[in-house]
A and B are shown apart, each in its own frame.
Chain A
Amino acid sequence: MEQILATTLRSAAPLVLVAMAGVFAFRAGIFHLGLEGLMIAGAFATVAVGDTTGSVELGVLAAIGVCLLLSALYWWVIGPLGANVIIAGLGLTSIGLGGTAYALGAIFDVRGSLFTDVVLPRPVTGSTSGAGVIISEHSIFVWITPVIVLAAWVVLRRSRFGLRLAAVGEYPFAARSAGVNPSMVRLQALLIGGALCALGGAELSVGALRNFTENMTNGRGFIAFVAVIFGAWHPIGAAFAGLFFGFADAIGIQSQINITERVPREFVLMIPFVLTIFAVWLGGLWRRRSLEAEAGYAELREPDF
């Protein structure tokens, strides 16, 4: 049981970090399907630079830089250049998945996995039994994730920037008439999200593990996205949804060890996806109701950017 809880925290941390990125994008009115690509780009950059320089800090900084750059490009394409948000987002995901796998072969000349010695610091280690297991052996990013969630809540719900962001996402006309440039606010939201995705990716590769593997995000970016919907676009809600999906993942990993004989592994792996559909369905119900309430405004909404 303790082991499951510990694994839950480890699985949930990258999900929650990326989900916060999703919350920022969603609040700014962007249906961000590029999270997966940003996340794996972050994971790769951390390992690639961290391993080359031998410094995990430099690795994380490089990951943040790469993700900021990709986010800015994404903003440029969907904003000033008017590309479709969903298609370009999926393209970004493909660029991330394909680009990292390509770079793995082209730069490091390996296929599959790149192992590394660098690892994020782990503040608490050593417990092997009892409740200590739950909090032991977690990387620093697991510890700061709750802080980031709280910070996201303050920024989104209790700051002038949050008000501007919400106005941009909900009713751009309001933002413009308040002297806010919606495009710039969206850029800021995407950049914040990019940095968070980089942290999530880094946690995935050098937080819980010590390697980068092709396609190692394995749909986590999309699951994080769903956590946003499940959590009603609210940072705290999304964090709990991410925690829940981390729990489902932990059960999956545990059952891989224990009950593979009875339940095929594939069905356990399906759980997050099935739950995701369920979550989107619920989230859709909620969203539709709120949209209906605003139908009087719907016709006034500006088309896209």
Chain B
Amino acid sequence: MTSGLRRAASTVVLVVVSFLITALILRVSGYSVGDVLSGIIQGAITATGASTSSIRWAIPLLLIALGVVIGFRAGFFNIGGQGQFYMGACSALAISLGWREGPAGLVILCGTLAAMLAGVLWSLFPGWLRVRFGTDEVLTTLMMSFIGALVLQYLTAGPMRNPQGTGQTAASERIPEAFRLTGGSGVSLTVLLLVAGVTVLVWLVLERTRFGLTMTLVGRNATMARWQGINVRRVGLGAFALSGALAGLAGAVELYGPAARLVTGFSPEVGFTAVVVALVGLLNVWGTVVAAIFFGGLQAAILFLPIVTDLPPPALVLLHGMVAFLVTIKFRAVRRRRAAQAEAQAG
């Protein structure tokens, strides 16, 4: 417990340091940190609709990050959440546009299931390569992510392009209003309940089922798990599948919620940010919830900022990068203890 607290404290310190460094960069390049900060607070909390907007951005982050947490639990880096998210959204869109006359509830259900299935397929392929051939999943999930982005680009520019569209970026047709779970704000009771239910479910699976414990064992030490008779491959595939299903689900929620149509390259950073969210959340379900709300607030704020300052939006990417760069740093005491253990084992 105390070690958990220490980890939480060190993570908070590192996140604060990342913010300070980024603030310094902003300061040096001529922006007023005070203005930006008050803009962030307005955009994330106090301005009208700001907190709703924060939740709206937190939802996809949370769902994808939970997938990342599951992957990490079983010892895998699924950093391809972006592509799984896109494929989920595309599948849900295809079902919804293809069956416009269908009963709303059924279409949404089918669309959501299709989205999760697409996410599963998109993550299971690298997962299968990993457990079957030992192919490194960091790169393959990343590549699948790039491919997913191109598939989205192809669909929105080609087969699913809105013929009446006039905008510069390619976009699909809108789904019928009846299929939407929320208004443009992206938050409604249905969606909140759904996300809360999924979060609790993920927690139960991870902490209160045999499968969850098995994943933990495999993730900590797959060799030992094999010696204990655990089917490591099956557990790994299960973890990849769950992870992808959550990212796919995030895509469906995005479509049926705030988006209503898909635009080429929408939410381009959400996959990577979700990895940061999971890490800042200490790879723990409730920690991830907190981190997702925090980073959702930042995302909402960065969209609000142009109203009060002329800060270029990529500053947020820089900030996320800074957090990722620093957040896994281990403080001296931890490192010394680990070194001592390694030493004690060797000698």
Contact = CB atoms under 8 A, between A and B. Distances in A.
Direct contact of A and B (CB under 8 A): yes
Interface in B139-177: 139-140, 142-144, 146-147, 150-151, 153-154, 157-158
B150 A266 contact: yes
Contacts of B147: 270, 273-274
B8 interface: no
Contacts of B326: 77, 83, 88, 91
Contacts of A214: 314
B6 interface: no
A281 B135 contact: yes
A102 B144 CA distance: 27
Dominant secondary structure of chain A at its interface with chain B = helix
B321 interface: yes
A106 B321 contact: no
Contacts of B29: 102-103, 106-107
B154 A77 contact: no
Contact of A92 (B31, B136, B315, B325): B325
Contact of A280 (B77, B136, B315, B322): B136
Band of interface residues on B? 35 or more
A94 B324 contact: yes
A273 B143 contact: yes
B325 A91 contact: yes
Contacts of A33: 138
A264 interface: yes
Contacts of B327: 83, 87, 91
A59 to B, nearest CB: 19
B5 interface: no
A220 B191 CA distance: 38
Contacts of A277: 126, 129, 139-140, 143-144
Question: Which of B139, B315, B318: most chain A Cβ within 10 A?
Answer: B139
Nearest to A34: B325
Given A102-B317, A266-B150, A281-B129, 6 more contacts: A82-B329, A82-B335, A97-B317, A111-B312, A288-B133, A288-B134
A287 B134 CA distance: 9
A151 interface: no
Interface of B: 25, 29-31, 77, 79, 126, 129, 133-136, 138-140, 142-144, 146-147, 150-151, 153-154, 157-158, 272, 275, 279, 311-312, 314-330, 334-335, 338, 342, 346
B135 A90 contact: no
Contacts of B77: 86
A136 B314 CA distance: 37
A178 interface: no
Contacts of A83: 325-330
Interface of A: 31, 33, 37, 74, 77, 81-84, 86-88, 90-99, 101-107, 111, 214, 219, 222, 225-226, 229, 264, 266-267, 269-270, 273-274, 276-277, 280-281, 284-285, 287-288, 300, 302-303
Contact of B134 (A31, A77, A284): A284
Contact of A98 (B138, B140, B321, B329): B321
Contacts of A37: 321
Contacts of A101: 312, 314, 317
A113 to B, nearest CB: 14
Nearest to A302: B342
Question: Which of B79, B138, B275: most chain A Cβ within 10 A?
Answer: B138
Contacts of B330: 81-83
Given A33-B138, A270-B147, A84 B322 contact: no
A102 B311 CA distance: 8
Nearest to A103: B29
B29 to A, nearest CB: 4
25 contacts: A83-B330, A84-B328, A86-B77, A87-B279, A87-B324, A90-B275, A94-B324, A94-B325, A97-B321, A101-B312, A102-B25, A102-B29, A102-B317, A104-B314, A106-B29, A106-B30, A106-B312, A266-B157, A270-B150, A277-B139, A280-B140, A280-B143, A281-B129, A284-B129, A287-B134
